């Protein structure tokens, strides 16, 4: 046995899963991607994370860090390397009742967080899915159902505890290691393993949530009116427009405007939502008052052999009309990818661009195009998809790294404008000069 492995077996108190072991099959894969790592480590303490990092570094293994395992690019597993799976570090603890400060383990999922906080009347704007990890979503952004009112998930992080590439524990906040604090809010898992996040949560009531659907034939006018309205709509309203759902008729599928109104006042909710209802002939409206924790959905695990390939971009105000027209045209064509357009703006846009490493604050919309199917169908759809992106390219900017199924240099450049990238690379040099944390949209040490 190598000395690195001896040290691991001595210092690591969590689960060590190896090929052939009972749990290996499920532990080797993420929600979306299969892998064949040499070791899956499930730490139960910060000390275990330190031992895992030292093991991977000293034995020269490729390292994947897994939070909730939902990365579209499959960062949470690999072939032949080490996976540090944080799922046993999932405590959710209110550490300051007055300030609504919540400490969340680096491997918790948003469903665990919502369930733990609901009895205290608190919530954090996260994402739309219970099984998505706090780690991956937060370190790269976090566009959730309260994003227009409270900003991105990362805008509500006040401090982190992490294990860096040298196996040491570091803390980052506005006061302690401020550059690291800047970098982890948008720079993904490039700088170390976050073992605990301190978030400021927000008091929440039940919320009005549901979808308002219109026929596909009015997609273009509905989308346009929706985007125009959101510019001045109350920030309690956050919304996502979905079209071309292949399981609901593809080009004939209704345009679904999902809405979340952060409040339980019927009259205020109606005032905020009625302008959407007036955008066209409503064919379905299931908006109802619900506990916030019930708004998050269970993640769908694609059956074996089915891939999900997604790519995203941001849209600034001057390009909204053009982009929505192209997306409506695309949605009306046979074989369209699934189109999902998210409203951002509001609280996100009030934070200066350089305050965090997330650099897309002036965008009004973020959208993702997703192709679903077996690999041959995905391959066959690729040229058409490239043509769609070719049409969109002059009008869109950047990319939301959390909705990217690949990690090419072009993807990294789209996620991080040059100035942001340079500043991230300086932090990377300091905390991970050997690029141990490379299974991400990678910032290379320089
Ligand atoms: C069904 C589904 C719904 C989604 N909905 C939303 C949504 O509503 N809003 C939104 O913004 N995004 C959404 N996403 C995108 C999501 O934010 C990303 O997929 C994100 O990477 C998932 O994080 P994870 O921890 O589950 O993934 P993982 O695959 O575990 O991790 C992703 C990346 O983060 C790193 N990482 C994770 N945890 C840590 C940690 N504690 N310390 C250091 N690095 C870490 C990993 O190394 C990896 O590079 C959704 C994705 C899916 C599949």
Could you count the other beta carbons within 10 Å of the beta carbon of residue 298?
Answer: 9
43 Cβ closer than 6 Å to some ligand 1 atom: no
With a 6 Å cutoff on the Cβ, whether 440 touches ligand 1 is yes
pLDDT reported for residue 299: 82
Judged on CB neighbours under 10 Å (0-12, 13-18, 19+), 6 is: exposed
Span between the terminal Cα atoms of the chain, in Å: 35
CA 74 – CA 84 distance, rounded (Å):
14
Q: Which residues contact 158 (CB under 8 A, 6 or more apart)?
A: 101, 173, 174, 198, 199, 200
- The predicted structure's pLDDT at residue 246: 85
How does pLDDT run across 389-420, given as a tens digit for each residue?
999 999 999 999 999 999 999 999 999 999 99
> Strand 193-200 relative to strand 157-163: parallel, antiparallel, unpaired?
antiparallel
Half-sphere exposure of 265 (CA within 13 A, CB side): 6
Kind of pairing, strands 338-343 and 237-243? antiparallel
**pLDDT at residue 2, as a whole number:** 85
pLDDT at 446: 85
Q: Name the one residue in this structure whose structure tokens are 């849209």.
A: 315
Exposed (0-12), middle (13-18) or buried (19+): which is 288, by Cβ within 10 Å? exposed
Position 1 scores a pLDDT of 63
Select from 161, 131, 138 the least CA-distant residue to 68. Answer: 131
Q: Whose CA is nearest to atom 39 of ligand 1?
A: 135
* 328 Cβ below 6 A of ligand 1: no
Q: Give the residue ranges of the chain where pLDDT is below 70.
A: 1
Within a 10 A sphere around the Cβ of 247, how many other Cβ atoms?
8
Contact between 367 and 167 (Cβ < 8 Å):
no
d(CA 7, CA 74): 29
At residue 121, the pLDDT reads 96
Q: Which atom of ligand 1 is nearest to the CA of 128?
A: 8
Question: Two tokens at 80?
Answer: 């032949």
φ/ψ of 445, rounded to 5, equals: -60, 145
Tokens of residue 205, six digits: 């009531």
In the prediction, which pLDDT does 301 show? 83
Q: What percent of the chain has pLDDT over 90?
A: 95
CA of 215 to the centre of ligand 1 (A): 33
Reported pTM: 0.97
Sequence-ordered list of residues with C-beta below 8 angstroms from that of 137, at least 6 positions apart, any chain? 67, 68, 70, 110, 126, 127, 153, 402
Pocket test for ligand 1, best of 43, 52, 76, 136 (most atoms within 8 A of CB): 136
């Amino acid at each position: 046995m190598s000395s690195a492995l001896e040290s691991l077996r001595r210092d690591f108190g969590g689960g060590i899963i190896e090929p052939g072991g009972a749990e290996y099959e499920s532990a080797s894969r993420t929600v979306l991607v299969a892998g064949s790592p040499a070791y899956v480590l499930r730490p139960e303490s910060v000390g275990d994370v330190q031992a895992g990092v030292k093991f991977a570094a000293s034995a020269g293994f490729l390292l994947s860090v897994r939070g909730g395992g939902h990365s579209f690019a499959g960062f949470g597993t690999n072939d032949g390397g080490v996976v540090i799976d944080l799922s046993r570090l999932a405590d959710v603890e209110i550490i300051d009742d007055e300030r609504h400060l919540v400490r969340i383990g680096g491997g918790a999922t948003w469903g665990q967080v919502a369930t733990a906080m609901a009895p205290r009347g608190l919530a954090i704007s996260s994402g739309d899915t219970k099984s998505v990890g706090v780690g991956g979503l937060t370190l790269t952004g976090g566009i959730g159902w309260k994003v227009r009112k409270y900003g991105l998930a990362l805008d509500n992080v006040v401090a982190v505890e992490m294990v860096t590439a040298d196996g040491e524990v570091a803390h980052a906040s506005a006061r302690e290691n401020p550059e690291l604090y800047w970098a982890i809010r948008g720079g993904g898992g490039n700088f170390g393993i976050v073992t605990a996040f301190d978030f400021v949560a927000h008091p929440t009531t039940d919320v009005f949530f549901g979808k308002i659907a219109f026929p596909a034939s009015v997609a273009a006018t509905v989308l346009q009116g929706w985007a125009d309205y959101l510019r001045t709509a109350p920030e309690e309203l956050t919304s996502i427009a979905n079209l071309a759902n292949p399981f609901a008729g593809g080009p004939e599928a209704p345009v679904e405007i999902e809405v979340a109104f952060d409040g339980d006042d019927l009259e205020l909710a109606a005032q905020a939502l009625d302008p959407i209802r007036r955008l066209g002939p409503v064919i379905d409206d299931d908006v109802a008052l619900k506990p916030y924790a019930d708004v998050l959905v269970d993640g769908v695990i694609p059956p074996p052999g089915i891939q999900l390939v997604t790519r995203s971009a941001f849209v600034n105000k001057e390009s909204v009309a053009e982009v929505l027209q192209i997306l409506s045209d695309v949605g009306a064509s046979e074989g369209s990818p699934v189109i999902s357009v998210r409203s951002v703006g509001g609280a996100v846009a009030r934070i200066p661009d350089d305050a965090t490493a997330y650099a897309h604050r002036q965008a009004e919309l973020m959208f993702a195009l997703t192709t679903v199917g077996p690999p041959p169908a995905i391959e066959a759809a690729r040229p058409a998809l490239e043509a769609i992106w070719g049409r969109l390219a002059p009008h869109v900017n950047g990319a939301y790294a959390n909705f990217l199924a690949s990690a090419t240099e072009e993807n990294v450049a789209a996620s991080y404008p040059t100035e942001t990238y340079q500043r991230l690379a300086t932090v990377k040099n300091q905390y991970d000069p050997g690029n141990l944390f490379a299974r991400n949209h990678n910032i290379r040490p320089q």
